[in-house]
Structure 1
Amino acid sequence: MNRLLRRSFLLLNPRLGLSQYPTPDQVLEAGPEALTEIPYVTEKKATRIVETARTSVASQTDEDTALTLSLTAEDLLRLEKRIDRLKERLWNRVRDRRAPRLLASIEGIGKWSAAVLYCEIGDITRFSSAKKLIAYAGLDPQREESGDIAREKTTGKQGNAHIRSVLYGCVTAAIRNSTNPPVRDLYDRLKERGKHQKVAEVACMRKLLAIVYGCWSNNERFDPTYEKRLKVRQAEKKSAADSPREENAGKSFDMSAPVSRKEAKKRRKATSPEKGAGPPARGQGAFLDEHHNGDSASE
């Protein structure tokens, strides 16, 4: 079987396809209609596979080779079923706990991924912020220096590789299926700015891990509209805070006049400059600023 035909099966359902039709001759004999009975094989893909098999010049078309490929594919299928059973067993062990169910509510994160994240992160209170959890996973941007040259790297080899591996699968699924608006919107923004696909995916992994931290630490299920609603509330609050200053602009108060303490405090507040914002949010929208949500140039 030539390389292109093998690649076609790998893109579809490799072990099931190879177990039934391990050689190009058998693919041709089966035809597109039989191939479409394999899960995830569309009519278009089946036609492409048959056309590839028709032009194949592979020499390994004998019965012995076909039997070897078929048995190997069947062994792999059995191993996959065993792995699926073990994954389900792990989820059954943790599904009665609150945190894994919260993580599984996040679009893009399935039961297996939620169980792995729960086991790998452990106690969420170990991390005082989403930024520290991201650093623990090794997803914080790394700076590499050599002589006079310094450049930013998307990730390093430090941190928890298991968390990164699980997040990558979750992010690719969320981007492909558009099931997680905050992650998908970030990916689209970065791609529109000309960022490389890998850079955008790593930024989305950081975003998804920040959402994990927000849901888990606040004991909340995932809300895909949370960030939009939070931005609206912040804009309304800022507008309301600006209004009194605009109304009191140009006014002068006699601070020595006999007024109540409440009125004096109100006047001092109106004439004093605005103080800095309070502590950062810890919820699902904790990474709304440009640097943390992946819009910064360094990412």
Structure 2
Amino acid sequence: MLLEEIDHDQNQQIKLHFIAEVKDVLRFSSAKKLIKYAGTDPVIKQSGKFRVNKHISKQGSPWLRNILFQMAVGVVTWEPYFREYFLRKKKEFKSYKKAMVAVINKLIRVIYGICKNGAYFNPSLSFYSKNYVSICEVSHA
């Protein structure tokens, strides 16, 4: 088997595992709820005016978190938009793990937007672009 075929097979398996865990992305009313379901939402400790983001909640499916981590590694490796986002977050947080969680949550928001809007991902229309319109561009094809 060629390396490309192996990569394609692994990508297909990851997609199928994601679908098996989530079932239908649109059963969630928002991307935030899907992030909470995955257990990658931050735990916030608060006392009066003191507020600290500690770690992820891990209340969701550990299988889904593993699948999302594998997907995040793939998009950071192959997609320049996500690579730039990862590097920016790694510099900001000074932590590989925190940067990867940020990528996972970004990936969830993108997947949710794509499914909800029936659109293609267009990184040139992202929030960080000067031509900001939407993270998704509706397909007319």
Q: Normalized against structure 2, the TM-score is what?
A: 0.73
Distance in 2 between the 1:134 and 1:194 partners? 20
Change (3 A) 1:186 1:139: same
**Cα deviation code 1:256-287 (max 9, x no counterpart):** xxxxxxxxxxxxxxxxxxxxxxxxx7x549xx
Residues 120, 136 of structure 2: 8 Å contact kept: no
Question: Could you say which residue in structure 1 is the equivalent of 2:82?
Answer: 183
Aligned to 2:75: 174
Match of 2:37 among 118, 123, 136: 136
Residue 125 of structure 1: CA displacement? 2.5
Runs of 4 or more consecutive aligned structure 1 residues displaced over 4 Å after TM superposition: 228-231
Distance 1:191 1:230 in 2: 20
1:291 maps to what in 2?
none
Query: Structure 1 194/206 Cα, relative in aligned 2: closer, same or farther at 3 Å?
Result: closer
Matched, 1:200 2:99: yes
Query: Which structure 1 residue ranges, 5 or more long, are not aligned?
Result: 1-38, 41-83, 89-108, 235-280, 286-299
Q: 1:219 corresponds to which letter in structure 2? A: G
Structure 1 residue 124 and structure 2 residue 25: aligned? yes
- How high is the sequence identity, in percent, across the aligned residues? 31
> Per-residue deviation at 1:231?
4.5
State the number of aligned residues. Answer: 130
Aligned residues: CA RMSD: 3.2
Instruction: Provide TM-score, normalisation by structure 1.
Output: 0.38
Q: Distance between the aligned counterparts of 1:228 and 1:150, measured in 2?
A: 27
Aligned to 1:111: 12
- Structure with greater strand share of residues: 2
Cα distance 1:232–1:223, how it changes in 2: closer, same or farther (>3 A)? closer
Alignment partners' CA distance in 1, 2:12 and 2:123: 18
The separation in 1 between residues aligned to 2:46 and 2:17, in whole angstroms, is 34
Structure with max Cα Rg: 1
